[in-house]
Amino acid sequence: MNIHRTFALDSDLTFEVLERPPVGAVRIFGRAGEARELLLLAENQTSAETWLKAHRYPGPVMDEVTTDEVAAADVKGRAA
**Per residue, what are the HEC states of the chain?**
CCCCCCCCCCCCCCCCCCCCCCCCCEEEECCCCCCCCEEEEECCHHHHHHHHHHHCCCCCEEEECCHHHHHHHHHHHHHC
- Please report whether residue 63 resides in a domain: yes
Q: Which domain holds residue 36?
A: 26-79
- Please report whether residue 65 resides in a domain: yes
- Residue 42 Cα to chain centre, angstroms: 9
pLDDT on residue 79: 46
Per-residue pLDDT reduced to its tens digit, 20-38: 899 999 999 999 998 888 9
Mean pLDDT of the chain: 87
**pTM, whole model, 2 decimals?**
0.74
- Please report whether residue 18 resides in a domain: no
- Please report whether residue 13 resides in a domain: no
Cα separation, 18 vs 9, in Å, equals 20
Give the chain's domain count: 1
What average pLDDT score do residues 32-48 get?
A: 94
- Please report whether residue 10 resides in a domain: no
- Please report whether residue 8 resides in a domain: no
pLDDT on residue 41: 96
pLDDT on residue 71: 74
